[in-house]
Chains A and B, each alone.
Chain A
């Protein structure tokens, strides 16, 4: 059985299941309980700034911890808790705040196992909201997953739809490695069928969201709906597109990328982040390194410009990739 849920609600359901099935799972972050755990007090709680963790504190008292606004403290404490036997889900409200707290991820979570000769396990999940689309401007709209995806020892995933969000989050929490779970603003409110019960979507496995054969549109997170919209329009012109949803940026499903490239010989990569050192560039390099013989046209990348994210609505729209930009990119390959 399944029902229609928003991506945010699917995450909330996954957190409930993870906490029910494993007493070591805790949730900590700014406002995650949101004041809802005051004993004898009948106040409602925020459940996070976007309400994603609402209801958890009532269901799991003592295991949902409001923290001070101390990102370094939150992530550092979560790493220490993970390495000593808990399975924390820490919330970094927006990935932009990584600037205050990169060390616990970069130098601690990512490296303890390796530095300690394989003795440590760091079963940590960091949930974080990424990307533009809410007019939250330059310091609350970045798509910095390319930073965490590039750090050996970390995994980074980004769902594009509610069903994947639930399954990927359960898999991330149960993984014994530190996983950065990105919630793209563009799809956080998206609705979709979500299976009931407990299931996992494996990390490192891309999903062929649409089968075409003429061109491969490769996206993830908020760019997958754009790819699907572009594919629909291209179909009207007689061009059938594969749409590959990467879902996981590290580990990267290289075989799925090469498989669709081999089929179509033509690839457009759509990434909401800025272009330098991006996932789009990384995937393009992979296509050249390992798929050169399959390529029949130049590779195109559709990304944000090398620019901060603007506030003004028309500027923000111009900043983001779109179905129209994807179609233009496909046409430019002829």
Chain B
């Protein structure tokens, strides 16, 4: 594990950007300045960044309806993302994808996905490509605890294990499938146990702890890269906001939420660890906070000023046209 001050600062920057980005989106949607269904990733930053910081260019990421965090963690341009969410022509998907389908294949980001669990077989296909074309890449699928109740999860994991694909399946177990507590609908205590059916290696990480996620991701990716087959990594985490912006949050206890948000915040935990260990100064982190705020403000300003797509875009990109 190569955690230099430089890589730690970069990981902090991405976690802080996710937090700031999602906070800003919440404000924009609530103020009626941005449309669409919006699912925020705040609280789960250590999972996306802890895993993605260990990835290489050849590695791919498939995401979920809660996908902004994975985009930022995989290095998708924040300006392009913000423009996309404003539905502008300068968006990373030309304004045609929006929040639930934001993607950047040039960065190996295979897309958020509006269908719960659908990214899991897609990522399995990316792992098949990596194996057959010997790219050396690992295909990482992020998905929630709810997705592990879909048939797509079980079919894909069975195939990946059988073919020993370089695939890492990261479950972000945030305790709720939409509004329903996970234990209401999942009979196993740990989602990781589900790997047993597929003779697949599984691991559990504290998803609020960047360093634990990092350690587990390093081990899991090494397993995948060395040809020993896929890994199911369960990260226990918490969704600071509701399922979507506007969720009244009547279904979870305020005390529990406060406990997670006040005492388990992954950014605070990261800061306490690196400052105590003398790896990064608190002053460095404050400077990054400011830089993030500035970049975000400039992204919002540019996005709001950018043009909407031309109406001619409506029927463009439905098919690849013959050249």
Chain B contacts to A: CB under 8 angstroms: 60, 62, 91-97, 101, 103-106, 110-111, 113-115, 118, 120-130, 132-133, 139, 151-152, 155-156, 158-159, 162-163, 316-320
Contact = CB atoms under 8 A, between A and B. Distances in A.
A209 to B, nearest CB: 25
Interface band, chain A: 35 or more
A62 B115 CA distance: 31
Contact of A117 (B118, B159, B317): B317
A189 interface: no
A81 B103 contact: no
Interface string A97-116: 00010011001100111111
A28 B60 CA distance: 22
A117 B83 CA distance: 13
A103 B92 CA distance: 24
Given A68-B159, A83-B126, A107-B114, A117 B318 contact: no
Contacts of B111: 112, 115-116
A76 B318 contact: no
A80 interface: yes
B318 A153 contact: yes
24 contacts: A26-B132, A63-B132, A68-B158, A68-B162, A70-B158, A72-B121, A73-B155, A73-B159, A77-B121, A77-B124, A78-B125, A80-B110, A80-B122, A80-B123, A80-B128, A104-B121, A108-B115, A108-B122, A111-B101, A115-B111, A116-B111, A120-B103, A153-B318, A155-B319
Contacts of B93: 115-117, 119
A68 B151 CA distance: 13
Chain A CB within 10 A, most for which of B110, B127, B139, B317:
B317
B319 A73 contact: no
A90 B92 CA distance: 30
A126 interface: no
A61 interface: no
Contact of A76 (B95, B101, B122): B122
A177 B132 CA distance: 21
Nearest to A75: B121
B103 A103 contact: no
Given A78-B125, A84-B129, A119-B104, 4 more contacts: A65-B163, A76-B121, A77-B156, A84-B139
A104 B118 contact: yes
B110 A83 contact: yes
B320 A72 contact: no
A73 B92 CA distance: 29
B317 A113 contact: yes
B128 to A, nearest CB: 5
Contact of A85 (B97, B133, B156, B317): B133
A76 B156 contact: yes
B125 A118 contact: no
Contact of A86 (B91, B113, B120, B132): B132
Contacts of A175: 320
Contacts of B151: 72, 100
A175 B323 CA distance: 11
A82 interface: yes
A166 interface: no
Nearest to A175: B320
A242 B159 CA distance: 49
A40 to B, nearest CB: 19
Given A80-B110, A119-B106, A108 B129 contact: no
B3 to A, nearest CB: 30
B156 A73 contact: yes
Contacts of B159: 67-68, 70, 73, 77
B105 A72 contact: no
A253 interface: no
Given A72-B152, A80-B62, A118 B94 contact: yes
A119 B156 contact: no
